[in-house]
Structure 1
Amino acid sequence: MTDQSPTTTPDAAVLDTALQMVEVWNRLSENKQALLLKRFGTQENALAALVTTQLLAPAKP
């Protein structure tokens, strides 16, 4: 069995991503949240879209 620190396990990565998604959502204005909910149907879908957008955004010089 290999020794892995808790921060490198797949479970920890998923948890970290989920926490980041919640932080992003909480920083949005109520209007922006409402627009995203209308467009994507659920908070989970809206957050996934936000995270994907951030991951696919070109690196800033």
Structure 2
Amino acid sequence: MTDTPDTAVLDAALQMVDVWNRLSADKQALLLKRFGTQENALAALVTTQLLAPAQA
């Protein structure tokens, strides 16, 4: 794949779905309570990942 903004968003989304699947049920419940839906919680996780400073 090429390194485009679309690819970066897709990669971040796939990583956050993986993170979501590894969260405990309690942590998922807390995120659902805060964000309302799994989609909103994943969007927040993706945004956080995309805005995080690059790690060397």
**What is the deviation of 1:55?**
1.9
Q: Would the aligned equivalents of 2:13 and 2:42 in 1 still touch at CA under 8 Å? A: no
- TM-superposed CA distance for 1:42, in Å, is 1.1
TM-score, with normalisation over the residues of structure 2? 0.67
Tell me how many residue pairs correspond in the alignment: 52
Aligned-residue identity in percent: 77
Q: Tell me the TM-score normalised to structure 1 length.
A: 0.63
TM-superposed CA distance for 1:29, in Å, is 0.4
Larger RCO: 1 or 2 (CA < 8 Å, sep 6+): 2
Instruction: Give yes or no for the alignment of 1:33 onto 2:25.
Output: no
**Alpha-carbon shift at residue 39 of structure 1 (Å):** 1.3
Runs of 4+ residues deviating >6 angstroms: none
In structure 2, list runs of 5 or more residues that go unmatched: none
Structure showing greater radius of gyration is 1
Taking only aligned residues, the RMSD between alpha carbons, in angstroms, comes to 2.4
Decide which of 35, 50, 55 is 2:52's aligned counterpart: 55
